[in-house]
Amino acid sequence: MNMELTHQIYAGLAPWFALSLLLLGRSPHPSRTRIIGSLLLGFFLLRIPVGGWHLFAWIRVLEPNPSFTLTALLAVALWHRISYGKIFRAQDWNAAWLFGSLAALTLYPMGLGLTSFDPFVWGWGEFSPIATTLFASILLLRGNRFGIILLLTPAGFLLHLQESQNFWNAVIDPFYAGFSLIAGAVLLSRKRD
Amino acid sequence: MGQEKEKALFQQEEISGGQQLPMVHVASLAELPSGMLAAVWYGGTAECAPDVKIFYSEREPYSSWSAPHAIMTRAQAEKDMGRPVKSLGNAVLLANPDGSLRLIFVTIAMGKWSGSQLNTCASKDGGLTWSKAERLTLSPFFNFSELVRNRPIPMVGGGWCVPVYQEFLGKFPELFWLKEVDGKLTETKTRIAGGCSSFQPSLVPLAARRAVVMLRDYTSARKIFLSRSEDGGVNWSKPVPTNLPNPDAGISGLRLSDGRLLMAYNDSTTDRSNLSLALSGDEGRAWKKIAVLENESGKSFSYPYLLHSSDGLIHMAYTWKSKQIKMVSFNEAWIAKQEAEYGIP
C-alpha cells in the first residue's frame, strides 16, 4: 500500500470515530442496529461530495495529521458507547486531559511565535519519542491505562502512518489540545471546590 | 604588467516574456551546474486567486529566456496531495549539484497567506517533468502558515538551508533545513526571532559558521533589520534595525567576492515605487546606497531576488509593476563604477 493511501486512511479514522459518536447520540445503551447504522452513516457522510471533493478531503485540508492520542481516545470513547465493557476509568481520562493540556501549553504558544524558542523542533529529534515512551511506562507502572495510548504514539510514528515527520503531530493536535484544555480546566475547578 | 581592468557590465531583460497575465509576482532564480539560469514565479488574475500557476523559464548563458510554462497548477497540487487547494503562491527553486531541481512552493488551504503550507517536488530533467508534490509539515497548528520567499543556501555535505517565515498569529523569520537521503526528505527548523517582529529573511553566509540575515520589517520602525549567527545558524542575535528603510516589502542580500554585502531594497518607508541597491563593508552594520534601478511614482517594483552566478555576474529578478518579471544582471566592476558615481571612497 502506498504511503499516501496509508496517510489518507489513517487521517480518516478520527473524523469517522467522531462522527459515529455524534450519530450514536446520548442513549446509554444503543441497539445493535443503531450502532451499525451510526458507523455506516458516519463512513458515508465522510464520502459526501462537497464542491467536487469528499467531505473527508475538506476535513483533511484542516487537519491532515490527527494525533494518535486523539484517534485512540476517540476509539476508546466509541468502544465505551457501543459495548458494556469500560476500558478507561476516570483516572485514565483525567491523565489524558492533563497530558493534553501540558503538551498543548508547552507546544502551541511558543510554537506559534510567542518566543524565539520553538519547541516544535524537538519533534524532529530522537528525544521526544524516547521521553514519551518513558512517560507512558511510568503511567503504566502506576496502573494508568492512558499509558497504553501514549505508547501507541511512537509506534504509529515509526510506522509513518501520518504525513508529518514531526513527533509532536503524533502526540497532539489542536482538537485534542482544545478538549484537554477545557476538560483540564473543569478538573481543576472541581478540585478547588 | 598591470592586471586588465574588468569592464562594467549592466543589462536588463524580461523573464516572463510575452505573458499577458493581470498579475505576476515573486520570482526566484537558480543556477544549474551547466551554467544555465532557471527562474520560477507565480501568476494569475490576482494574489490568492484560484487560477494562479507557478511558471518556469530557463536561459543559457548570454541567451534569451525560454517561453514560460506552468510547472504547478492548483489542479495538479490537488491531484498530487489528494485534497482541495485554494491557490498557489511563492516558490523557490533549488539546483542540486547533480543537475536535479527542487521546487518549494506555497499552497493556500484557506483564507490568505495565514492559511498556507509549504510543499515540494523535484525534477530530474531540467524542469520538463516534476515528481508528485508532497506536503511539508513545518508548523504545529494545523500546519498553518509557513511560507518561503528568499534564496536557499546549499550546505556543505549536501542539503539546503531555506529561509522561511510564519504569518499566522505573528510574522517571524525561521530557517528550514532540508536534506534528501536515499530519496527521502528529512527536515528541521531554526527560529531566528519570535513574535510580530520581522520576516522574509534573506540569509547571507559570511564564513563557515558565521552568517547574517536581513529581514523585512513588521514593526513601526520601518527599517530593514539584521540578525547574526556565530554557530552555523543555530542561534541568532536579537534583530536590530539597520540604516536602510523598509516599507514592509521584500528584500534580498548577498555577499560579493570581496566580502562586502549587497542589498536590493525599496528605498522608502511608505511605498515600493523605487528599487535600489546598497553596499555594506562592515557585515551589515552600515549601508550606503549605490544605485536606483527603478523609480516611478505610484508604481510598484518589488520582491528582488539576488543570485551570484559562477561566471561572476550578479542577477536580480524582481516584480515589475505586477505585470512582468524582469531581471537585471551586472558585474562587480559595475558596482565599483556606481560607488564612484555615488562618491563612495
Query: The domain that contains B57 carries what CATH number?
Result: 2.120.10.10
The pLDDT assigned to B345 comes to 61
Task: Examine the domain organization and report whether B223 and B138 are in the same domain.
Answer: no
Q: Tell me: ipTM over 0.85.
A: yes
Half-sphere exposure of B17 (CA within 13 A, CB side): 14
Q: Which residue stretches of chain B have pLDDT < 50?
A: 1-3
The pLDDT assigned to A192 comes to 73
The pLDDT assigned to B2 comes to 42
Task: Examine the domain organization and report whether B334 and B243 are in the same domain.
Answer: yes
Task: Examine the domain organization and report whether B129 and B57 are in the same domain.
Answer: yes
Of B85, B119, B148, the last residue of a domain is B148
Chain A partners within 8 Å of B191 (Cβ): 116-118, 121
Determine, yes or no, domain membership for B292.
yes
Question: What cell was used for B53?
Answer: 500557476
**A30 burial via Cβ count (<10 Å: 0-12, 13-18, 19+):** middle
pLDDT in tens, B147-165: 999 999 999 888 999 999 9
The pLDDT assigned to B1 comes to 41
Return the residue of B nearest to A125 by Cα.
B188
Q: How far, in Å, CA of A83 to CA of B40, rounded? A: 57
Neighbours of A141 (CB within 10 A): 9
Chain B partners within 8 Å of A160 (Cβ): none
SS3 A105: helix
The parent domain of residue B58 ranges over: 20-148
Task: Examine the domain organization and report whether B122 and B239 are in the same domain.
Answer: no
Residue B38 sits at φ, ψ, to 5 deg, of -125, 145
Question: What cell was used for B211?
Answer: 552568517
Determine, yes or no, domain membership for B5.
no
Determine, yes or no, domain membership for B190.
no
- Determine which of A10, A107, A112 to mutate to test the interface with B (most B C-beta atoms within 10 Å): A112
pLDDT 10s digit of each residue in chain A, 193 long? 688 899 999 999 999 999 999 999 887 788 999 999 999 999 999 999 998 999 999 999 999 999 999 999 999 999 998 887 889 999 999 999 999 999 999 999 999 999 889 999 999 999 999 999 999 999 999 999 999 999 999 999 999 999 999 999 999 999 999 999 999 999 888 877 6
Determine, yes or no, domain membership for B27.
yes
Contact between B269 and B259 (Cβ < 8 Å): no
The pLDDT assigned to A23 comes to 94
The pLDDT assigned to B4 comes to 56
Chain A partners within 8 Å of B193 (Cβ): 116
Distance set, CA B145 to CA A31, A155, B5, B22 (Å): 44, 28, 49, 26
Determine, yes or no, domain membership for B160.
no
For A129-181, give the DSSP string: HHHHHHHHHHHHHTT-THHHHHHHHHHHHHTT-SS---HHHHH--HHHHHHHH
Of B113, B148, B183, the last residue of a domain is B148
Cβ <8 Å between A57 and B140 = no
The pLDDT assigned to A1 comes to 63
Contact between A8 and B82 (Cβ < 8 Å): yes
Task: Examine the domain organization and report whether B135 and B242 are in the same domain.
Answer: no
Chain A partners within 8 Å of B239 (Cβ): none
Task: Examine the domain organization and report whether B134 and B208 are in the same domain.
Answer: no
Task: Examine the domain organization and report whether B269 and B138 are in the same domain.
Answer: no
pLDDT in tens, B280-315: 999 999 999 999 999 999 999 999 999 999 999 999
The parent domain of residue A101 ranges over: 3-192
Cβ <8 Å between B236 and A116 = yes
Q: How far is B133 from chain A (nearest CA, A)?
A: 11
Cβ <8 Å between B137 and A8 = no
Interface of A to B at Cβ within 8 Å reads 4, 8, 51-53, 57-58, 60-65, 107-108, 110-118, 120-121, 124-125, 163-166, 168-169, 174
Q: Looking at B45-86, which runs of residues are DSSP E strands?
A: 53-59, 69-72
Task: Examine the domain organization and report whether B129 and B267 are in the same domain.
Answer: no
How many helices (H) and strands (E) in chain B?
2, 25
Task: Examine the domain organization and report whether B261 and B334 are in the same domain.
Answer: yes
- Please give the tally of structural domains in chain A: 1
Region at B284 (left for phi over 0; alpha for psi -120 to 50; beta for the rest) = left
Q: Residue B254's closest CA among B218, B300, B302, B304?
A: B304
Sign of CA dihedral B50, B319, B97, B163: negative
- Please give the tally of structural domains in chain B: 2
Q: Residue A87's closest CA among A95, A96, A97, A77?
A: A77
Task: Examine the domain organization and report whether B241 and B327 are in the same domain.
Answer: yes
